C-alpha cells in the first residue's frame, strides 16, 4: 500500500448545534495532529473538516500506509547496573535489550555517556515505523478522549452489557485509505465503508462509499447531505439574501444564529413566512429575540431597520409544495409572539416604581446584599457624579433614572428573556410618560454590553452606567471575587473596559482614584462599617483597570513602550491618555529622542541608588562646574514653557521642548561626577537630577523609551 488519501467519519445521533462547529474543527485537527506526530503524514498534507448534525469527518491527503523507520538513541541503565565487574551484561540489561528486540550480541556496540553524574549505557536502534492501522487506532482513541465535549453521555452498546461515553450515541465508523477499509474500532464500532444520508431525502440508504475521495460527491448525490459546514453556511447566506431581496427586506445579521442553524440542517432550504402585523405593536427587540432564541428564525428588517411581519425559515427538507412547512412554522411563531404580547401587555399594568420595593427580595450576592441595597448605592454614586458633571439639575435626573433602573428585572418579559433587561425598562418608562433622558438612561446604563458596543446616549445614562460598573468592580474586589485566568463570572473585565471607554470617549473630567474612593466610601457607609485600617485599599483594582486599558491600547495599535511610558505614571485622568500617547509618539520621532531617553534612564538609576532623601531645591552657589550650571540654567529657562504647555494640555509641545536639553545633558554627564566625596556637592547634584527627571517625565516616563 502506498500513500493515499484518508477518510474518517463518525456517524452519530444529532449533535449539540452550538458545539458542532468547534467539534468538527477539533475532530479534524486532533486526528491529523496525532497522525502527523506518528510520522504517517507530512506537514504539507491537507486536512479538510466536515461536520453535519449527524456526523464528524475529516479527509486527509497523502497519508502513508507505513511510517518510515527511525534511528533513535535509547537510554538503558547505569553502567554499574547493566554490566558486572568483568564487563558482562547483567540479567536486568539483557531483559531491557530484549524489550527493544535485540540480544546480547549488541552489548559491545552500546555507548557509554554521562547522564548527569552517572555513566549510563545507551543503545543506537532502528525503530520500525507504525502502520497506518495502528496509528489511526491510536489517533482515534486520543481524539475521542480530547474532544471539547460540553456534556458527556453514557450509553449502552448493542451487546447490552458494555457502555461507553461520548457526546451522543455513535452508530457507524468509516475509515478508508483510498478504497481500502482500515480495520480500526472506537466506541464499540468496527470501521467499514457504509454511512447514512439525509433522514428523509436520501436517494440511497445506506450509502456505500467507493473510496476516500468520493465522500463529498456521494453524500450530496445519493444522500442529499452537504457535509462541509463552511459550504452549508455559505449556501444558507446565499439563500437568505436571495429570499430577502425578493421581499425588499434584509435578514438580521447574526453570526451566532447562522452557525447554530448551519449545525441544525444537512441540506438547507430557505422559506419565507409571515405573521400578523398586529404583533408589531410589541417592541421589536422582544419579537426578534423570540424568533431567534426559540425558533432559530431570521427576522426581516426594512430599509429603516424596522421589523417587518415576515421572517425566513431554514428548513432541512425540500418538499415540492412547502405550504405545509410554512403554515406549521407560522402557527408556531404565532403562539410565541402571542406570549410576548401577553407579557408586554401585563407588564405595563404596573409601573416601574411599584416594582422597586420587590428588589429587596432579589439577592445581589450572598456576601453583600439585595438588588435594592445595591441600587441605593448606585443611585447615590450616580447622583454625586451627575452633580459633579452637571450640577443639581443633572443630579436630580440621574437620581430618578437610578431609582428605576432595575425595576424591569421583575417584569414577565425580562423573566422570559434576561437579555432584554434595560431595553424593556426603557419601553415601560416611555409608556409611563417619563422623559427620553430618563428612559434612555435606564436602557443605556448596561452599555457597553460587549466589545464595540455603543456608549450611553446622554449624560444621565453616562453617570448611571459609570456608577453601575464602578459599584460592581469595587464590591467584587472588596470581597475577593477577582478574575483568574479565563474565569470572570461577574464580567469584571468588561465592566473595567466600560469604565475606561466612558471616561475617555465621553471626555469626562473625573479622576479614577477619586471615583474608586467615592464608591468605596458609599459602600462602607451603607454597611455602617466606615473606613478603617482593615478596609481594602483597592490598589489591585486600579492595577486591574490599567491592565485592561493597556490591552485595549495595544488593540488600537500603540506599541508596548509607548503604553508603558504613559501608564507607568498612573495618570488618574484617563481622558489625557490619548493625548499623552500622541505626544510620546511625536517625541520618539525627534532626532534627540534616543539620547534623551537613555539619559532619563541613567538619571533614574542614579536617583534610585542614592541614599537618604533628595532635596527639592538646587543651590546655585554649589554648582562649581560650568556644565552643571548650564544644565540648571537651561532647566530654569524651560520650566515656564513646560508649565504653560502642561496646563494647556499641549503635551506634544511640552515634549518637543525637551529637545533643547540634549546638549546640556550630554555635557553634564561628560564633565560632571555626581557621586563625589563632598556630601554637599553630591546632594546638590542629585537635587539637580531630580529636577531634570521631574521636568522630563511630566507627560510620560521617557526612560521606558530607552533602547535596552
DSSP string, 6-36: EEEEEEESPPPHHHHHHHHHHHHHHHHHHHH
Q: What's the grid cell of residue 16?
A: 449539540
Q: Is 530 left (phi over 0), alpha (psi -120 to 50) or beta?
A: left
Dihedral over alpha carbons 562, 563, 566, 570 (to 10 degrees): -160
pLDDT for 246: 95
Mean pLDDT of 332-358: 94
Look over the chain and give the mean of its residue pLDDT values, rounded to a whole number: 91
Instruction: Look up residue 386 and give its three cell numbers.
Output: 451627575
- For residues 176 and 65, the model is more confident at 176
For 572-705, which CATH superfamily applies? Answer: Isoleucyl-tRNA Synthetase; Domain 1 (1.10.730.10)
So what's the pLDDT on residue 707?
77
> With bands split at pLDDT 50, 70 and 90, how would you rate the model's confidence at 436?
very high
Instruction: Report whether pLDDT(524) > 70.
Output: yes
Which element (helix H / strand E) includes 180?
A: strand 180-181
DSSP 399-419: HHHHHHTTGGGGSHHHHH-GG
| Contact criterion met (CB below 8 Å) for 10 and 36 | no
In what helix (H) or strand (E) does residue 312 lie, and over which residues does it extend?
strand 307-315
Q: Which phi and psi (to 5°) does residue 48 adopt?
A: -115, 125
More confident residue, 529 or 450: 450
Q: Is the pLDDT of residue 355 over 60?
A: yes
Model pLDDT for residues 63-105, shown as the tens digit of each residue: 998 888 787 787 888 988 888 888 888 998 888 888 877 887 7
Predicted confidence at residue 530, as pLDDT, reads 45
pLDDT at 162 > cutoff 60: yes
Decide if pLDDT at 532 tops 50.
no
CA 116 to chain centre: 44
- Res 678: pLDDT: 85
- Predicted structure pTM score: 0.80
Question: pLDDT value at position 528?
Answer: 59
Give the pLDDT confidence score for residue 365 in this predicted structure: 86
Cell of 233: 453556511
Tens digit of each residue's pLDDT (9 = 90 or more) over 544-581: 999 999 999 999 999 999 999 999 999 999 999 999 99
Burial of 653 (0-12, 13-18, 19+ CB in 10 A): middle
- Asked if residue 238 has pLDDT above 90, the reply is yes
Q: How far apart are CA 518 and CA 520, in angstroms?
A: 6
| pLDDT for 18 beyond 60 | yes
Residue whose C-alpha is closest to residue 670's, from 703, 628, 707, 620? 628
pLDDT tens digits, residue range 445-477? Answer: 999 998 889 999 999 999 999 999 999 999 888
Q: What is the pLDDT of residue 111?
A: 87
DSSP string covering 163-225, please? EEEESS-EEEEEEEETTEEP--EETTEE-BSEE---TTT-SSSSEE--SGGGHHHHHHHTT--
Nearest CA to 51 out of 97, 15, 3 is that of 15
More confident residue, 267 or 489: 267
For residue 448, say if its preceding peptide bond is cis, omega within 30 degrees of 0.
yes
As a whole number, mean pLDDT of residues 143-162 equals: 89
pLDDT of 43 higher than 70: yes
Q: pLDDT grade, residue 537 (50/70/90)?
A: low
The backbone torsions φ and ψ at residue 372, rounded to the nearest 5 degrees and listed phi first, read -70, -45
Amino acid at each position: 500500500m502506498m500513500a493515499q488519501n484518508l477518510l474518517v467519519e463518525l456517524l452519530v445521533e444529532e449533535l449539540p448545534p452550538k458545539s458542532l462547529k468547534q467539534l468538527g474543527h477539533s475532530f479534524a485537527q486532533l486526528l491529523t495532529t496525532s497522525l502527523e506526530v506518528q510520522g504517517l503524514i507530512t506537514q504539507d498534507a491537507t486536512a479538510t473538516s466536515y461536520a453535519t448534525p449527524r456526523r464528524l469527518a475529516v479527509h486527509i491527503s497523502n497519508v502513508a500506509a507505513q511510517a518510515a523507520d527511525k534511528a533513535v538513541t535509547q537510554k538503558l541503565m547505569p553502567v554499574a547496573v547493566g554490566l558486572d565487574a568483568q564487563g558482562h551484561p547483567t540479567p536486568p540489561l539483557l531483559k531491557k535489550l530484549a524489550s527493544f528486540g535485540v540480544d546480547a550480541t549488541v552489548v559491545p556496540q552500546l555507548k557509554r555517556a554521562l547522564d548527569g553524574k552517572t555513566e549510563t549505557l545507551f543503545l543506537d536502534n532502528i525503530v520500525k515505523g507504525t502502520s497506518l492501522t495502528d496509528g489511526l487506532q491510536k489517533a482515534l482513541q486520543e481524539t475521542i478522549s480530547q474532544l471539547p465535549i460540553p456534556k458527556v453521555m453514557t450509553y449502552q452498546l448493542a451487546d447490552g452489557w458494555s457502555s461507553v461515553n461520548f457526546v451522543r450515541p455513535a452508530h457507524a465508523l468509516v475509515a478508508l485509505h483510498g478504497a481500502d477499509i482500515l480495520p480500526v474500532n472506537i466506541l464499540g464500532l468496527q470501521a467499514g465503508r457504509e454511512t447514512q444520508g439525509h433522514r428523509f431525502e436520501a436517494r440511497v440508504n445506506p450509502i456505500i462509499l467507493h473510496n476516500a475521495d468520493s465522500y463529498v460527491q456521494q453524500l450530496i448525490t445519493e444522500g442529499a447531505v452537504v457535509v462541509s459546514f463552511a459550504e452549508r453556511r455559505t449556501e444558507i447566506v446565499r439563500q437568505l439574501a436571495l429570499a430577502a431581496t425578493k421581499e425588499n427586506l434584509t435578514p438580521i445579521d447574526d453570526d451566532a444564529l447562522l452557525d447554530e442553524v448551519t449545525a441544525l440542517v444537512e441540506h438547507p432550504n430557505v422559506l419565507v413566512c409571515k405573521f400578523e402585523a398586529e404583533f408589531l405593536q410589541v417592541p421589536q427587540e422582544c419579537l426578534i429575540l423570540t424568533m431567534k432564541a426559540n425558533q432559530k428564525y431570521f427576522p426581516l428588517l426594512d430599509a429603516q431597520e424596522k421589523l417587518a411581519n415576515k421572517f425566513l425559515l431554514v428548513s432541512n427538507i425540500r418538499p415540492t409544495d412547502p405550504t405545509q412547512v410554512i403554515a406549521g412554522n407560522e402557527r408556531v411563531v404565532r403562539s410565541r409572539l402571542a406570549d410576548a404580547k401577553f407579557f408586554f401587555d401585563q407588564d405595563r399594568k404596573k409601573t416601574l416604581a411599584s416594582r422597586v420595593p420587590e428588589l429587596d427580595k432579589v439577592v445581589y450576592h450572598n456576601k453583600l446584599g439585595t438588588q435594592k441595597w445595591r441600587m441605593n448605592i448606585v443611585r447615590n454614586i450616580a447622583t454625586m457624579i451627575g452633580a459633579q458633571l452637571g450640577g443639581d439639575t443633572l443630579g436630580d435626573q440621574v437620581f430618578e433614572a437610578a431609582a428605576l433602573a432595575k425595576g424591569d428585572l421583575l417584569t414577565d418579559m425580562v423573566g422570559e428573556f434576561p437579555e432584554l433587561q434595560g431595553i424593556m425598562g426603557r419601553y415601560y418608562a416611555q409608556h409611563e410618560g417619563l422623559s427620553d433622558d430618563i428612559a434612555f438612561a435606564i436602557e443605556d446604563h448596561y452599555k457597553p454590553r460587549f466589545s464595540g458596543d455603543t456608549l450611553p446616549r446622554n449624560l444621565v445614562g453616562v453617570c448611571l452606567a459609570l456608577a453601575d460598573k464602578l459599584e460592581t468592580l469595587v464590591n467584587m474586589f472588596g470581597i475577593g471575587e477577582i478574575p483568574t485566568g479565563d474565569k470572570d463570572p461577574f464580567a469584571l473585565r468588561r465592566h473595567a473596559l466600560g469604565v475606561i471607554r466612558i471616561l475617555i470617549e465621553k471626555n469626562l473630567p473625573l479622576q479614577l482614584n477619586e471615583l474608586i474612593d467615592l464608591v468605596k466610601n458609599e459602600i462602607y457607609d451603607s454597611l455602617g462599617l466606615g473606613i478603617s485600617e482593615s478596609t481594602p485599599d483597592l490598589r489591585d483594582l486600579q492595577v486591574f483597570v490599567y491592565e485592561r486599558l493597556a490591552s485595549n491600547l495595544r488593540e488600537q495599535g500603540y506599541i508596548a513602550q509607548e503604553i508603558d511610558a504613559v501608564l507607568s505614571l498612573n495618570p488618574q485622568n484617563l481622558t489625557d491618555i490619548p493625548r499623552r500617547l500622541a505626544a510620546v509618539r511625536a517625541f520618539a520621532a525627534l532626532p534627540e529622542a534616543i539620547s534623551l531617553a537613555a539619559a532619563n534612564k541613567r538619571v533614574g538609576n542614579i536617583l534610585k541608588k542614592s541614599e537618604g532623601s533628595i532635596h527639592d531645591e538646587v543651590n546655585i552657589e554649589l554648582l562649581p562646574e560650568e556644565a552643571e550650571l548650564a544644565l540648571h540654567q537651561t532647566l530654569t529657562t524651560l520650566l515656564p514653557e513646560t508649565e504653560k504647555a502642561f496646563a494647556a494640555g499641549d503635551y506634544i509641545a511640552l515634549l518637543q521642548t525637551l529637545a533643547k536639553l540634549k546638549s546640556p545633558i550630554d555635557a553634564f554627564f561628560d564633565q560632571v561626577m555626581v557621586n563625589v566625596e563632598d556630601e554637599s556637592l553630591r546632594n546638590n547634584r542629585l537635587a539637580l537630577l531630580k529636577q531634570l527627571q521631574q521636568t522630563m517625565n511630566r507627560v510620560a516616563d521617557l526612560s521606558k523609551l530607552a533602547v535596552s
